[in-house]
Structure 1
Amino acid sequence: MFPDRRLSAVAVPVTAFDDELRRLALDLVDTLRAAPGIGITAGHVGVPLRVVVLELPDDPEPSLYINPEVVWVSEETQRHAEGSVSMPGATEEIERPAKLRLRFQDLDGTVHEEEAQGLRAVCHQHEIDQLDGIFWLQRLSRLKRERVVKRYEKLGRAVPR
């Protein structure tokens, strides 16, 4: 939970596509649903690997992204409210590219590409930031960041620093 310093850790690439990775993926889905949220990284459960699970409202099932990387973004931007499963109840609008192309691997290590826009593009960028050690608050101005943290602390959910 915020402000745990592990939320700023840079995740390392997955190199072993094995049963342990499959167990981690299932654990992330369960944790995401319990949170509840729409996106989670392995870092949120203390595992510093480049693994992301998204479960968006219109998805028939969760999507797993291993070693995701953005390979293209549009010049067009969009603003969307963001938050974190590690900081429940705290949100703020962030501006990001509206569309992107993503390269990632599946549980077998096969490489895929996917284009995304709207909420899915926001989620990919948000979670990849997390993998890169950039907690979503860092995308805000200092003033907005301080306001969000104060609102979060008033909710009584902040873990002592």
Structure 2
Amino acid sequence: MALLDIVTIPDPILRKISEPVEGMNEEVKKLLDDMLETMYEAPGIGLAAIQVGVPLRAITIDVSRDEDGRQPLFLVNPQIVWRSDEPNIHEEGCLSIPEYFAEVERPKRVKVAFRDHEGKEQELEADGLLATCIQHEIDHLNGVLFIDHISKLKRDMVIRRFTKAAREKERSRSSAL
């Protein structure tokens, strides 16, 4: 397995809509395994393939937060087939927007259909943190970031901050050459 580079804003690939995975092969399984290792190392609880620069509808999740009792989930071509009307507010963060957190309101429960690591069709009902994480990661597959769910003023401030940091990083890289 290999650690992958995590793409951060303002990289435009994060706004790209991911393509469906066509068939489960060793290449896709390796991508999922590498994503899981990258997510654990970051550390995070969810990672979409687009966040490592691969525009495929693939997600890794593990909300267990217990190194000894890890419970990884692999969701390939996930689709939310049901959402509860009951809302839930959870503080979200994102590996593609490091060290920024905001409260986001989403449905409290969801049912998701997907293929697993072996390509087998699955359905899962989730609530609480897992439901939030699934929705957050599926948003990534659709080019949506969690900051799109907060006020325009806060979102614009975050984007400006990360854009400025990216420019400064590029300038320092250019002057070092």
Please report the TM-score for the alignment, with normalisation by the length of structure 2. Answer: 0.83
What is the distance in 2 between the residues matched to 1:3 and 1:82? 18
Structure 2 residue matching 1:88: 3-state secondary structure? strand
What is the distance in 2 between the residues matched to 1:48 and 1:149? 22
Partner of 1:38: 45
> Which of the numbers 38, 43, 54 marks the counterpart of 2:61?
54
The aligned runs of 1:1-161 (5 Å cut-off) are: 1-56=8-63, 57=65, 60-149=70-159, 153=162, 158-160=165-167
Larger Rg: 2
What is the distance in 1 between the residues matched to 2:41 and 2:9? 17
Q: Is the 8 A contact 1:32 1:38 kept in 2?
A: yes
What is the distance in 1 between the residues matched to 2:30 and 2:166? 28
Give the superposition deviation at 1:13.
Answer: 0.6
Give the superposition deviation at 1:124.
Answer: 0.5
Contiguous gaps of at least 5 residues in structure 2: 1-7, 171-177
More helix by share: 2
Give the superposition deviation at 1:108.
Answer: 2.6
Please report the TM-score for the alignment, with normalisation by the length of structure 1. Answer: 0.90
Q: Is the 8 A contact 1:101 1:113 kept in 2?
A: yes
What is the distance in 1 between the residues matched to 2:157 and 2:107? 24
In the alignment of these two chains, the number of paired residues is: 158
Structure 1 residue matching 2:59: 3-state secondary structure? strand
What is the distance in 2 between the residues matched to 1:2 and 1:35? 16
Give the superposition deviation at 1:159.
Answer: 2.1
**Which runs of structure 1 show a deviation greater than 4 angstroms over 4 or more consecutive aligned residues?**
none
* CA displacement 1:65-100 (0-9 Å, x = unmatched): 100010000000011111211111001001000001
Identity level (%): 39
